[in-house]
Structure 1
């Protein structure tokens, strides 16, 4: 699988001049309620764009109505650094599940300060639902799908309620289930952007090196993908980056990226 982006420059700090003209085109394409065919066509046009340009186009097209969603995990700093370059005031939605590593919470705080993000919003499980469904906080041990629904899917639904578009950091190289994700798609009535989709691990590392960005502390201990503490382990050599998530189960996604109405690409 080729994960390289033809327009990727890890030293880039600004958009190329020709990209500005394309931003207005994207804005015009999305002025009306997006239909599936429109989103599919936009995804094809964006295939030649670099991640910073996709990010800028997304923010320009949905000014004031778009948010980024970040786990502040192993590669989150690249997405957040690009967002800070485009507009550090774009809301960043963070799901504190109650089961995160302390290192993740510390990393979140460090990146907020380092990147100058001005609107990071933390969402937690609804307490009434948690008390009813997971009173002992051990639902993860018996039903990971129900636990993810309670601690991630439902809170994200609340977090996204004011927005009609969102940005996330998924990449095609991370897992077979993500190998075909487009740069833009429609999900549950919203436009969802995946600006880093075409980047591979070497390009992620190059961007971090070029901009002197800090790693998640647990990367030093061999964790390539980090979620909730009870359901995260190290990926083994040769495995997908996300193979350490929900080890021993068929489950590969928490549920927040299960597309409900995306067109077939």
Structure 2
């Protein structure tokens, strides 16, 4: 299916996924999605602290689903190394998407956007995250986006449903209801490698300039963007950013 032939999503698809997921395990959710929607699916991965879970679930239950990796050019060296390890270990089909402007060119034209307050950070997110993801969805001809968001990760995700519609894209979260102990148990049971920076106090993972280790008594949310926000722009409330525009 190409970009021109994509169906217009109906609200009933959101309801259908939300209803089905309530009674299913995460592996069953992945299998069901693939049986229902086939080539319309894509998984995004940041290769962050918990990325191995969704990558493993998809590789085991729907290996045909392509994986989009948004490489901002500002990831930690350890993240690049971890990504290569997971790609080789899980034998996944990864499509790397990068900003149209390199990191060096962005800084030459705009300076360090992440140091320029809300406006700069928003522009940074659009250039490095939102536009590449838009492009990935369009070029791959997909309109159902699987992500590993969980409600317990932040206050901005606490009220999400398993599926939500954002413009023409249906966003689906198969492990949305997983607790932190479930995450730890899955890593242990499946013998999945962990991100090397987890042992250094990082509770969440993003670009090197906007992610810090979590101090004593601090939350994971406080370790991103100097505590001013948690989301980079990809996972705001439905309709807040354009996908498949």
Residue 103, structure 1, aligned to residue 78, structure 2:
yes
Kept in 1, the 8 Å contact 2:68–2:95? The answer is: yes
Matching residue of 2:224:
245
- Where 1:231 maps in the other structure, the secondary structure is coil
Of 111, 121, 128, 1:151 maps to 128
Change over 3 Å in CA distance of 1:112–1:213 after alignment to 2: same
CA shift, 1:172, in A, is: 0.4
Matching residue of 1:18:
none
Distance in 2 separating the partners of 1:239 and 1:248: 10
Matching residue of 2:99:
125
Kept in 2, the 8 Å contact 1:54–1:183? The answer is: no
> Any residues of structure 2 matched to 1:208-227 within 5 Å, and which?
208-227=187-206
Matching residue of 1:89:
64
Kept in 2, the 8 Å contact 1:223–1:233? The answer is: yes
CA shift, 1:239, in A, is: 4.1
Q: What is the TM-score when the length of structure 1 is the normalising length?
A: 0.80
| Count of equivalent residues | 230
**Structure 2 gap segments, 5+ residues each:** 1-6, 241-245
Distance in 2 separating the partners of 1:252 and 1:134: 26
Q: What is the TM-score when the length of structure 2 is the normalising length?
A: 0.86
Deviations 1:87-121 (A, max 9, x none): 2232100011011101101111100111111x201
Of 51, 71, 91, 1:76 maps to 51
Residue 65, structure 1, aligned to residue 40, structure 2:
yes
Distance in 1 separating the partners of 2:168 and 2:108: 30
Residue 232, structure 1, aligned to residue 206, structure 2:
no
Change over 3 Å in CA distance of 1:141–1:206 after alignment to 2: same
State the Cα RMSD in Å. Answer: 2.4
Matching residue of 1:20:
none
Matching residue of 1:202:
181
Kept in 1, the 8 Å contact 2:210–2:224? The answer is: yes
**Structure 1 gap segments, 5+ residues each:** 1-31
Residues 182-191 or 130-139, more deviating: 130-139
Matching residue of 2:165:
186
Residue 43, structure 1, aligned to residue 18, structure 2:
yes
Distance in 2 separating the partners of 1:107 and 1:129: 21
Deviations 1:116-162 (A, max 9, x none): 11x20111111389847863652211111111111111111101112
Distance in 1 separating the partners of 2:20 and 2:171: 15
